[in-house]
Each structure stands twice: as C-alpha cells, then as structure tokens.
C-alpha cells in the first residue's frame, strides 16, 4: 500500500510540475503559426511517440470498433477541441484568468463521474475544488479584477468554459476505458492521433494555413510540449485518473498555476501581491481536502 501511495504522489507531482511549465512553452507557439496548426502538429508527433512506447512495452494495439469510437470521441474532445480553444483564448486572456477557469474542471469531473459513470459523488473533491478555485481567484485577483466583458467581449471567456467541459469529457472517457482494462498508453496513442487528424481536417475546411516554424523558440517549445507536456504529463495524469478517480486527480489543474507563478517570480521578476501567502494557503487547504482520504472509524466489538 505504501508503494502505491508513493507512486500516486509521484504521478501527481510529475503532472503538476510539467503542466505548470507548459503555460510558458505555449507562449513560444504563438506567433507565425496558427494556434490550430500548432495543436495538430503537437498531438500528431505525440501520438507517434505514444505508439512507439506501446511497441516497446509490447502492448496490444488491436482494439474493438467500440473502443476505437471512444478513442475518437476522447481525442476530439481532449486533444482537439480543448487545446484549440485554449490556444485561441490565450491570445486575448491572461494566463491567470485562464487558469482560474480551467481549474473548475475538478468540479465538472466529480459531477460527471457521478452522473455519467455512476460513481459515488466525491464530496471532498467538490469542496476541495471550490476552495482551490477560490484560492486561485485570490491569487490572480489583479487579473480577475480588471477583466471586463466589454474589453474583448464575452467570447474568450466562453471559449475557456467550453474548452474545460470538453477536457472533462475526455477525462471521463479515459476513466471508463481504463475501467474496462484498456491501457492508458494505447488509448492515448489512438486518442492523440484521432485528435490531431480532426484538427487537421478542421484546418483544411477553414482554410487555416498548415505552417510550421523552424525557429529555435518555436521548435524547442514544440519538442517540450510534445515529449513532456503531452506524452509524459498525460501518461502520468491519466494513469493517476484511473487510480484515484476523475474528481480527485483534476486537482492538478488547481495546483499547477502555483508552479507557473513560482517560475514567473524566479525568471520574470514577477511581483507577488500582498495576499499571495493567503491564496496559496487556501489552495493547499483545498488540495488536502480533495486528495486526503477520510478516516474510517472502527466499530466497537460487541
């Protein structure tokens, strides 16, 4: 049991640390190449790496048509629409505001697992998620406070909300397939492939130029997002999702903005606000509530 807990902690920490740095890597993707094209190239390359991992691990790649369909839906939702919308929204919204919206996935995952997967309602995950989102609002209050609907219109904010719902849907599908014994690596390989192909199809229909930039900034950020942000982080996150459930694992979306903030302080001379310590304490309190197991009292012998 101890080794399993340690393994879960390692997976969670890996996810939080990597996704806490991908916010900055994504900035290296915004420029000459359209965000939709960047998403397609990212997950097309990541799917290739995933298939190689499956081959090295001697995993069975032949799956039923029904599982292929689930991979298709997961790929379009989690690796296609989700990322296209967030890349697009990042052109007009601050990363702080985006992270606050995305962190609500802990709520959608817990509710979705209850409604669609028939799992018990994870009250601790829900309460912890609410506390965590409040903490992030306090942490990024300077960005939340100045945002107005009239600034860019409601569209970017709505885009973020829709993207979060699609990401949650992809999480729930992964939980369902893992419950049926399908490997995370196999599911992700096909899901990323289908997601990338759907994005490419959308780009062709919408006449979006399928460019690729060979500058050092774009290429280095691309490789980081493929190998770390996609292959390693999603491998860790979805594996942990199968172990502890969609509601609790989604708390990673609440914690990795703290990593992003720390990096900004260290390398961008970002000034911390007066409520930073309070905000971090609130987020960590929500983390403890969402991820800790309630104590089970032993009945007295009769």
**Interval 218-224 mean pLDDT:** 96
pLDDT tier at 299 (50, 70, 90 boundaries)? very low
pLDDT digits (tens, 9 = 90+) for 188-209: 999 999 999 999 999 999 999 9
| Residue 278 lies inside a defined structural domain of this protein | no
Residue 261 domain-assigned?
no
Half-sphere exposure of 184 (CA within 13 A, CB side): 17
In this structure, is residue 30 part of a structural domain?
yes
> Does residue 139 lie in a domain region?
no
Q: Rounded CA gap, 56 and 59, in Å?
A: 8
Q: Is residue 124 part of a domain?
A: no
The set of residues, in sequence order, having a beta carbon less than 8 Å from that of 148 and lying 6+ positions away, is none
What is the pLDDT, as a whole number, of residue 190?
98
Kindly report, residue by residue over 7-21, the tens digit of the pLDDT.
899 999 999 999 988
- The pLDDT-based confidence of 103 (bands split at 50, 70, 90) is confident
Do residues 254 and 106 make contact, with C-beta atoms less than 8 angstroms apart?
yes
pLDDT tens per residue across span 46-69: 999 999 999 999 999 999 999 999
Mean pLDDT confidence for 33-40: 93
Number of H helices, E strands in the chain: 16, 0
**Which pLDDT belongs to residue 301?**
39
Asked, for residue 276, whether it belongs to a domain, the answer is: no
Give the domain extent around 75: 2-93+100-119+149-244
Backbone angles phi, psi at 117, to 5 degrees: -110, -5
Q: What is the pLDDT of residue 95?
A: 72
Count: domains in the chain:
1
- Asked if residue 277 belongs to a domain, the reply is no
Residues in CB range of 257: below 8 A, 6 or more apart: 20, 23, 95, 96, 99, 100, 103, 136, 139, 140
pLDDT band at 300 (very low <50, low <70, confident <90, very high): very low
- Please tell me the predicted confidence (pLDDT) of residue 302: 36
Does residue 279 fall inside a structural domain?
Answer: no
């Amino acid at each position: 049991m101890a080794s399993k807990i340690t393994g879960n902690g390692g997976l969670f920490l890996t996810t939080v640390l990597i996704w806490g740095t991908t916010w900055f890597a994504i900035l290296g993707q915004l420029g000459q190449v359209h965000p939709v094209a960047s998403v397609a190239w990212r997950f097309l390359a990541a799917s290739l790496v995933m298939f190689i991992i499956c081959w090295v691990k001697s995993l069975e790649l032949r799956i039923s048509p029904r599982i292929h369909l689930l991979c298709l839906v997961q790929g379009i939702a989690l690796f296609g629409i989700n990322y296209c919308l967030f890349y697009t929204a990042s052109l007009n919204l601050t990363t702080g505001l985006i992270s606050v919206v995305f962190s609500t996935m802990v709520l959608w995952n817990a509710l979705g697992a209850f409604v669609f997967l028939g799992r018990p309602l994870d009250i601790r995950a829900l309460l912890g998620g609410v506390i965590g989102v409040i903490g992030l609002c306090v942490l990024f209050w300077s960005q939340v406070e100045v945002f107005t609907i009239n600034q860019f219109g409601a569209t970017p904010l709505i885009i973020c909300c829709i993207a979060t719902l699609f990401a949650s849907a992809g999480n729930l599908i992964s939980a369902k397939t893992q419950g049926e014994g399908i490997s995370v690596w196999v599911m992700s390989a096909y899901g990323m492939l289908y997601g990338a192909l759907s994005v490419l199809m959308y780009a062709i229909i919408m006449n979006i130029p399928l460019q690729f930039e060979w500058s050092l900034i774009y290429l280095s950020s691309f490789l980081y997002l493929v190998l770390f942000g996609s292959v390693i982080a999603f491998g860790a996150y979805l594996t942990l999702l199968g172990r502890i459930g969609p509601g609790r694992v989604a708390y990673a979306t609440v914690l990795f903005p703290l990593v992003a903030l720390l990096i900004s302080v260290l390398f961008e001379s970002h000034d911390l606000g007066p409520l930073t310590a309070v905000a971090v304490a609130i987020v960590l309190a929500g983390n403890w509530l969402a991820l800790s197991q309630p104590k089970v009292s032993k009945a007295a012998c009769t």
